[in-house]
Amino acid sequence: MTQPSERIVRQFCEAWDRRDMPSILALMSDDIIYQNVPQPPFRGRQAAAAFLAPIVSKATAIEFKLLALSVAADGSSVLTEREDLLHFGSKVVKIPLMGIFVLRNGLIAEWRDYADGASVAAEFQRAGVSLAPAQHT
């Protein structure tokens, strides 16, 4: 049986696939802590949105490909292995990564992704996409 936490994370990934920023934000808690480890975290939905919205609006297609997903025994955390694909016209940024989602009250309260930062930066550069510098709060 699919647990509620798994359903929420799958809904979140599907919202990314639709580039549906309102749905993405609606699944985050107000006080979400979002981190691309080991970068400093973004604290709060607004800070996360300020970083993520430009990516979502620039991308012409997005796919959060779930390679593996498992739910912790107490149901509070969902661990994923993914390949995130961000299309910018004919260019594709491919990010192999793992991510953990900690759920509270049906919302994502913590989201940590682990990837090789230099490779991700090189992929964005190769695709000719410049991201605004992160404003950590």
Distance CA 63, CA 99 (A): 15
3-state secondary structure 17-35: HCCCHHHHHHCEEEEEEEE
Closest CA to 65 of 91, 38, 93, 45: 93
The answer to the question of residue 66 lying near a second copy (CB under 8 A) is: no
Among 8, 20, 51, 96, binds a second copy (CB under 8 A): 96
Among 46, 60, 119, 130, binds a second copy (CB under 8 A): 119
- Smallest distance, Å, CB 122 to a second copy? 10
Among 24, 97, 103, 108, binds a second copy (CB under 8 A): 97
Residue 11 or 23 with smaller CB distance to a second copy? 11
Judged by CB under 8 A, how many residues of this single chain contact a second copy? 25
- Using DSSP's 3-state secondary structure scheme, residue 89 falls into coil
Instruction: Report in angstroms the alpha-carbon separations of 46 from 73, 88, 136.
Output: 31, 24, 11
Which residues contact a second copy (rule: CB under 8 A)?
Answer: 37-38, 68-73, 77-81, 96-100, 112, 114-119
